[in-house]
Amino acid sequence: MGYEFKNWKIFRNQMKTKSIDVVKFEFTYHICNFEVVYSIEQNIFFVAKKGTQIAFSIYLDGYKSSVILEKESYKQLIICKNRVYDENKPYNPSDFLQSLDDKIGTNPMIFQASKEDFYTILKKAIPDEENIYFLGFRPHAIGKHHVTGVNIEKVRKILGHTLAEFCKINNVSVAFSKNPNEKSFDMISNPKKVLDEQND
């Protein structure tokens, strides 16, 4: 079961009040410093450990984190607590998520994230994928091809739960590219606009 962010709505309202679509802020967890970017539309926290290539994503369904963190992310959080990872002692990341939740509820110093900020952290958080930049929607005709589960999960991981569910229900695949373009940048703040323009 995912963690429920209690301060999610307050945080998003703060962004809306400041007319910020994609926010960047700093966050400290025990001995580690992180940089976080968050997109209102995508509803994902991309978290990068400062001074390293270590990052991971926390994507949400509403205010609930929809998946647990991967094993490698667990190991990094244990290091932050100045402990050694032990497979025989499972680590629960809920205290990390609670700390992040507390941070977003304290009216943190937030800044509009640039496209470069967003994609620099995204590239670190999705290290096994070369193609992480949105290229276009690929709707499938009824009775023909179907969107794959792999594509849906990639959409969920990079573009968020809401868009993944839209693609699943409407049998739409998303194509990704190695290189960012203006359309991929537009997806950060307004995926509906991109979809509407493509269907014109």
The per-residue pLDDT for range 148-165, each reduced to its tens digit, is 999 998 998 888 888 999
Strands (E), the chain: 22-29, 32-39, 44-49, 55-61, 64-65, 111-112, 133-139, 172-177
Percent of the chain with pLDDT over 90: 37
- Mean per-residue pLDDT of the chain: 86
Element (H, E) at 4: none
CB 177 within 8 A of CB 135: yes
89-105 tens-digit pLDDT:
766 778 889 999 999 99
Angle formed by the axes of helices 191-199 and 182-189, to 10°?
A: 130
Tokens linked to 156: 């969920």
